[in-house]
């Protein structure tokens, strides 16, 4: 069965060691490759992963364009790049239009690293541009392995979805890291994608299986959150929680392929 990793990380070679070192060793976090694209590709080869969605984060507005220049220059069909954006970037519509013209499928936003909540009015120009160009947003959702910054929790995402019903988005970490009871209360069954990044072993298998099935297998995707997990171990764990063959095919491949690799606009 082919596998697509819908949530992975890498950094420019000259920054990778610092970026990986920021988290490694804190709260028990370890890295399973060196944070470079080369390291990510090596991990993919070891674990039989066909493609990985690369999710960059701009921690400052001034980083947006340089990160986007870097990700769009990665010329490898195994890497599906998302663009970077920041809530305080002065010209989000223009930059998102440029990414769309380059064929970039969407952007990544991270509430804790960028200090925003998804329902804030200042996010509207970003959402408007994403909807206009038929793109998507991968959001970090919930807590973080380090308790710092703004936690975007399920009620805030539910409000955003009410206000932006045509916005296509993925809420990482099964909708909200550490707040899975709130996911069940506010998000379950809604028209939003979830990924499994950093969730196996941090949520009991029976609860993870129930969350996947109750939300709908057609809207859940495997994500490793590499380099912070071993993708092969994550896949093996997901194979053992009780999903059947067709469910695993959707989780590990079909849903992500349709969303990230299918081509065409996501505009309704």
Q: Tokens standing for 206?
A: 């029976």
Q: Are 9 and 55 a contacting pair, CB within 8 Å?
A: yes
Q: For the chain, which residues make up each domain, given as ranges?
A: 57-218+233-260
57-218+233-260 folds as: TIM Barrel (3.20.20)
Q: What is the pLDDT along the chain (268 residues), one digit of tens a residue?
A: 899 999 999 999 999 999 998 888 776 789 999 999 999 999 999 999 999 999 999 999 999 999 999 999 999 999 999 999 999 999 999 999 999 999 999 999 999 999 999 999 999 999 999 999 999 999 999 987 766 678 899 999 999 999 999 999 999 999 999 999 999 999 999 999 999 999 999 999 999 999 999 999 999 999 999 999 999 999 999 999 999 999 999 999 999 999 999 866 675 4
Closest-CA residue to 4 (of 234, 161, 175)? 234
Whether pTM exceeds 0.85:
yes
User: Which of these, 236, 230, 175, 231, lies nearest to 207 by C-alpha position?
Assistant: 175
Is residue 171 within 8 A of residue 139, CB to CB? The reply is yes
């Amino acid at each position: 069965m082919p596998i697509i990793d819908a949530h992975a990380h890498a950094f420019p070679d000259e920054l990778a060691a610092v970026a990986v070192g920021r988290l490694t060793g804190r709260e028990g976090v370890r890295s399973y490759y060196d944070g470079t694209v080369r390291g990510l590709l090596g991990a993919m080869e070891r674990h039989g992963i066909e493609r990985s969605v690369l999710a960059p984060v701009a921690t400052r507005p001034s980083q947006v364009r340089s990160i986007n220049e870097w990700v769009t220059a990665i010329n490898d069909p195994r890497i599906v790049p998302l663009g970077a954006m920041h809530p305080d970037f002065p010209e989000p519509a223009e930059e998102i239009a440029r990414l769309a013209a380059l064929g970039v499928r969407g952007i990544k936003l991270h509430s804790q690293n960028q200090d925003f909540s998804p329902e804030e009015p200042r996010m509207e120009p970003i959402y408007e541009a994403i909807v206009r160009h038929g793109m998507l947003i991968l959001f970090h959702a919930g807590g973080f392995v380090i308790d710092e910054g703004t936690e975007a929790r399920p009620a805030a995402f539910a409000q955003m979805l009410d206000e932006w019903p045509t916005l296509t988005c993925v809420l990482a970490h099964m909708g909200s890291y550490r707040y899975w009871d709130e996911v069940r209360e506010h998000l379950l069954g809604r028209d939003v994608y979830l990924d499994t990044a950093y969730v196996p072993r941090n949520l009991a298998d029976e609860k993870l299986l129930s969350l996947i099935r109750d939300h709908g297998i057609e809207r859940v995707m495997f994500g490793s959150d590499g380099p912070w997990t071993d993708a092969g171990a994550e896949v093996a764990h997901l194979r053992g929680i009780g999903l059947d063959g067709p469910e695993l095919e959707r989780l590990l491949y079909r849903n992500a392929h349709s969303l990230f690799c299918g081509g065409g606009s996501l505009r309704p």
